[in-house]
Amino acid sequence: MASRIAFVTGASTGIGFDTAIALRAAGFTVYAGARRVDKMEPLKQHGITVMSLDVTSEESMASAVGLVEAAHGRIDLLVNNAGYGSYGSLEEVPMAEGRRQFEVNVIGLARMSQLVIPGMRLAGSGRIINVTSIGGKIYEPLGAWYHGTKFAVEGLSDSLRLELKPHGIDVVVIEPSGTDSEWGTIAGEGLLTISGGGPYKEQAHIVAAALASTSGSGHVLSTPARVVARTIVRAATAKRPRTRYPVGRGAWSVLALRRVLPDRAFDAVFWNLYRRLAG
What pLDDT is stored for residue 273 in this prediction? 78
H helices then E strands: how many in the chain? 10, 7
Interatomic CA distance for residues 6 and 17, integer angstroms = 13
The DSSP-derived string for 104-120 is: IIIIHHHHHHHHHHHHH
Q: Residue 146 catalytic?
A: yes
Write down the pTM of the prediction. Answer: 0.93
pLDDT above 70: residue 87:
yes
DSSP assignment, residue 103? I
Per-residue pLDDT tens digits for 150-199: 999 999 999 999 999 999 999 999 999 877 777 778 888 999 999 999 99
Quote the pLDDT of residue 220.
54
**Rounded CA separation 197/5 (Å):** 48
Asked if residue 97 has pLDDT above 90, the reply is yes
Q: Please tell me which residue in 31, 146, 245, 274 is annotated as part of the active site.
A: 146
Please choose, from the candidates 216, 190, 213, the residue with its C-alpha nearest in 3D space to the C-alpha of residue 278: 213
Question: Kind and range of the H or E element at 20?
Answer: helix 14-25
* pLDDT level of residue 249 (50, 70, 90 thresholds): confident
Burial 24-36 (b: 16+ CB within 10 A, else e): bebebbbbbbbee
Which CATH superfamily hosts domain 5-278? NAD(P)-binding Rossmann-like Domain (3.40.50.720)
Q: What are the boundaries of each domain within the chain?
A: 5-278
